[in-house]
Amino acid sequence: MKSTISIQVELAEDKMPENIMWTAPDGGVPDLQKAKAILLGLWDGEEKSALRIDLWTSKMMVDEMNDFFYQTLFGMADTYVRATRNEELGKEMKAFAKSFLKKASDALEQADKQA
């Protein structure tokens, strides 16, 4: 059995992502959905290295990026625990994610005050 996840990226004239669309019919998402950002990580088992595709549109605001990273880090902690059963490191990862969001939010608030 095979399953397909499709990602379409429309580029602006400056070659930066303008629109990101995705679909995963077998995962219950049959129609194209909009996204402002994507972080895709792949593991090359032969090379023992991670490959990444990180894209975001100009419509992605800094506060949204902060939330996106927080939710991604928090979710990665759950995935890590499911894969390794290492609850302690999972808790540390979640604590880091919460700390990250607080610091990122504080930095954004400070930058807004200075603007």
- pLDDT in 10s for each residue of the chain, 115 residues: 899 999 999 999 999 999 999 999 999 999 999 999 999 999 999 999 999 999 999 999 999 999 999 999 999 999 999 999 999 999 999 999 999 999 999 999 998 888 7
* This prediction's pTM: 0.89
Tell me if 59 sits within 8 A of 49, measured CB to CB: no
